[in-house]
């Protein structure tokens, strides 16, 4: 993992991270409707996350973006104490190298620094590797979704106390 680094997103990263996320969603056969694939924010990630209590990180290998993840307040949640782990996707070459573990801990550290007390996420039931990682870092399954993310095609929900 020596040539791989995690850094905050820059305006020049918008096009490449959008492409990475869409490619991973297609590879994983995630529905295009009701998921991150159709989010308007996907093409302007820097601008979307360049706000208080929000941050998006990219994973870079030899100058090329190979994944990313972010933290933002959970949309539709009355309490500003719950954040959401958002758009955590990696190209195949980043998988199995501990990048996801390092990225999720980077995001959760940021969330704690911002004063969040819980972190929520949504995923697909068949994304077993991702769900295994989430469980490893302390996320627990929920019976129903929280907030109003608009990702109605995501059918697995998890939460973690920070």
pLDDT digits (tens, 9 = 90+) for 53-97: 999 999 999 999 999 999 999 987 777 799 999 999 999 999 888
pTM above 0.85, yes or no: yes
3-state secondary structure of 56: strand
| Dist. CA 157–CA 18, nearest whole Å | 23
| Dist. CA 36–CA 5, nearest whole Å | 24
pLDDT in tens, 90-137: 999 998 889 999 999 999 999 999 999 999 999 877 778 888 999 999
Alpha helices in 5-158 (DSSP H): 14-27, 45-49, 99-113, 128-136
């Amino acid at each position: 993992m020596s040539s791989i680094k995690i850094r905050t997103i820059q305006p020049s990263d918008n096009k490449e991270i959008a492409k990475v996320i869409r490619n991973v969603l297609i590879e994983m056969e995630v529905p295009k409707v009701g998921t991150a694939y159709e989010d308007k924010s996907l093409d302007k990630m820097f601008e979307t996350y360049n706000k208080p209590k929000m941050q998006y990180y990219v994973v870079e290998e030899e100058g090329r973006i190979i994944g990313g993840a972010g933290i933002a307040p959970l949309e539709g949640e009355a309490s500003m104490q719950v954040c959401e782990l958002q758009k955590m996707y990696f190209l195949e070459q980043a998988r199995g190298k501990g990048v996801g573990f390092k990225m999720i801990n980077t995001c959760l550290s940021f969330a704690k620094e911002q004063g969040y007390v819980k972190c929520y996420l949504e995923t697909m039931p068949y994304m077993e590797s991702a769900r295994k990682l989430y469980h490893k870092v302390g996320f627990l399954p929920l019976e129903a979704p929280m907030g109003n993310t608009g990702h109605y095609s995501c059918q697995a929900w998890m939460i973690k106390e920070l």
